[in-house]
Amino acid sequence: MADNNSTRCDLMMFGALGDLAQRKLFPALYQLERSGLLDSGSRILAIARNKVDTAEARKLLQDKLREHVKPHEFDDALVETFLQRVDYLYLDFTDPDGYGALNEWRGTPEGNLIVYMATPPAMYGVIARNLKGANCCTDQTRVVVEKPIGHDLASSKVINDELGEVYREDQLFRIDHYLGKETVQNLIALRFANNLFASQWDQNHISHVEITVAESVGIEGRWGYFDKAGQIRDMIQNHLLQLLCLIAMDPPSDLSADSIRDEKVKVLKALREITPELMDSHVVRGQYTAGTSDGKPVPGYLGEEGANKGSSTETFVALKAEIENWRWSGVPFYIRTGKRLPEKLSQIIIHFKPAPHYIFDPDQKHLANNKLIIRLQPDEGMSLKILTKDQGLDKGMRLRQGPLELTFSETFDADRIPDAYERLLWEVMKGNQYLFVRRDEVEHAWRWVDQVIRNWNDSGEPPKRYAAGTWGPVASIAMITRDGRSWYEDA
């Protein structure tokens, strides 16, 4: 009999031998084992269509764990214990007759049932229907689905409807792995546990916000997926808009999933539409050409393995988003994300307005804005740039900008920051939905992103080129410079 408060579970992993499962999900489950968080009765059924038996599947998983877990965290005995929890089932997900085997594996249910669909989104509805047909789920079953939910608003509605025919919303755990990152969750603590910031968090005190999610990697052999998606669907529709929501939302009344999601949805609904007339001033779209990465030459996007030479898919997007409400009126959110940028770096910069009356050296006026730099990855932490008097008898009242620095690994002596998937799997086991995305969030995000894509398609304009290893097209710098600002560079 399932006890909703217990974390004991039977986890059915569909797509268990695919890239995501091997690279992220099994390593995360192993880390939960290492942390002692996996209930001793929890079991895992790895489901895929590779013709292997359980012993062979365990061997494959062991090899992949060795590849993806840091050597000092890989403990042979513990891996062995972990793999004893895993059974393997060969199944073509489209074959309804195969699903009876899932009930046989479960036997008399003892823990909560978690179904993880690490599969192409087209499979979500198929699996849900087949599980229902085989009476394999109850109304307590928790179902985890990966992003992207669809390709646009219309297709996401189809997927959500298909899932909704079988499961209630409170059974669905839609993953956006950025919400599982410790530093992203920390945005909630930063904003709502520190009155210092809470009282300064609006258009009276903030001039603009920057969000950068830069990757140094290219598309990593994922042409088939990426070329149909592009950076706007792959990153902006989900991760970047979630970050924007967490920065911009009003205080939720409590930490419950729906209180937080309600506030995020209000932000998404308040995003100003980017009409065709606004495209030139508000959106830059780029595609990398050959260049360097980590000092080595790398091909351009059109030179990647499997490339269609005529592709106009974007690998970089910079946007100026505006939120039409009282809190944020007149405060642009400049967001940018791209592949093959100079480094892997995710950070949010809150630029505060200068003091209302400036009395110092006019030549130093450009320094007089406090900035809060929130480093999401790597080197997780934050830094508040404040102004002080320069030291020394000869300096008069010259100003100097310096950081109040909080580097999590040093201050809190954290020996390791858990991967996002560890946190997310653990929350599913506990039945907490607050780090998962509700249907209306997904759909409002698509609605906003779809209009930009429509405008691109209507204009027929190709993406602007940028060399791999640079910060994107020059036009993305011009976009922010026109407003008298610049992308933050730590000096």
Ligand X SMILES: O=C1O[C@H](COP(=O)(O)O)[C@@H](O)[C@H](O)[C@H]1O
Ligand Y SMILES: NC(=O)C1=CN([C@@H]2O[C@H](COP(=O)(O)OP(=O)(O)OC[C@H]3O[C@@H](n4cnc5c(N)ncnc54)[C@H](OP(=O)(O)O)[C@@H]3O)[C@@H](O)[C@H]2O)C=CC1
* Positions that interact with ligand X (CB under 6 A): 215, 234
Q: Which of 202, 420, 220 is nearest to 301 (CA)?
A: 220
For residue 418, the tally of other CB atoms under 10 A from its CB is: 16
* E strand intervals along 311-414: 316-321, 333-338, 345-352, 371-377, 381-389, 399-407
CB of 17 vs ligand Y, minimal distance in Å: 5
Nearer to ligand X, 210 or 234 (CB): 234
Q: Residue 48 interacts with ligand Y (CB under 6 A)?
A: yes
Q: Is 93 assigned to a binding site?
A: yes
* From candidates 15, 125, 381, 469, binder to ligand Y by CB under 6 A: 15
Give the total of residues touching ligand Y (CB under 6 A). Answer: 19
Q: Residue 121 interacts with ligand Y (CB under 6 A)?
A: yes
Q: What is the DSSP string of 187-204?
A: HHHHHHH-HHHHTT-STT
**Three-state SS at 424:** helix
72 given a catalytic annotation: no
Q: Residue 152 interacts with ligand Y (CB under 6 A)?
A: no
Question: Exactly one of 239, 282, 351, 444 is catalytic; which is it?
Answer: 239
Q: Are strands 142-145 and 283-289 parallel, antiparallel or unpaired?
A: unpaired
Nearer to ligand Y, 49 or 447 (CB): 49
Distance CA 21, CA 46 (A): 10
The binder of 20, among ligand Y, ligand X, none, by C-beta within 5 to 8 A per type, is: ligand Y
Nearer to ligand X, 234 or 450 (CB): 234
3-state SS, one letter per residue, for 312-330 = CCCCEEEEEECECCCCCCC
Nearer to ligand X, 28 or 331 (CB): 28
Distance CA 386, CA 341 (A): 29
Nearer to ligand X, 323 or 348 (CB): 348
Q: Is 215 assigned to a binding site?
A: yes
Distance CA 62, CA 79 (A): 7
Distance CA 399, CA 402 (A): 10
Nearer to ligand X, 155 or 200 (CB): 155
Q: Is 147 assigned to a binding site?
A: yes
* From candidates 94, 281, 329, 457, binder to ligand Y by CB under 6 A: 94
Distance CA 14, CA 393 (A): 69
CB nearest ligand X: which residue? Answer: 234
Tell me which stretch binds ligand Y (CB under 6 A): 140-148, 178-186, 378-386, 412-420: 140-148
* From candidates 2, 52, 101, 123, binder to ligand Y by CB under 6 A: 123
Q: What is the DSSP string of 142-172?
A: EEEEPSP--SSHHHHHHHHHHHHHHS-GGGE
* From candidates 28, 83, 113, 118, binder to ligand Y by CB under 6 A: 118
* From candidates 11, 17, 28, 60, binder to ligand Y by CB under 6 A: 17
* From candidates 7, 112, 119, 337, binder to ligand Y by CB under 6 A: 119
Distance CA 200, CA 399 (A): 23
Q: Is 49 assigned to a binding site?
A: yes
CB distance 270 to 322 below 8 Å? no
* From candidates 100, 120, 297, 330, binder to ligand Y by CB under 6 A: 120
Q: Is 92 assigned to a binding site?
A: yes
Distance CA 176, CA 246 (A): 13
**Three-state SS at 448:** helix
Site residues for ligand Y per CB under 6 A: 15, 17-21, 48-49, 92-94, 118-121, 123, 146-148
Query: Which residues carry out catalysis?
Result: 239
Q: Which residues are annotated as a binding site for NADP(+)?
A: 49, 92-93, 147
Q: Which residues are annotated as a binding site for substrate?
A: 177, 181, 215, 234, 339, 344
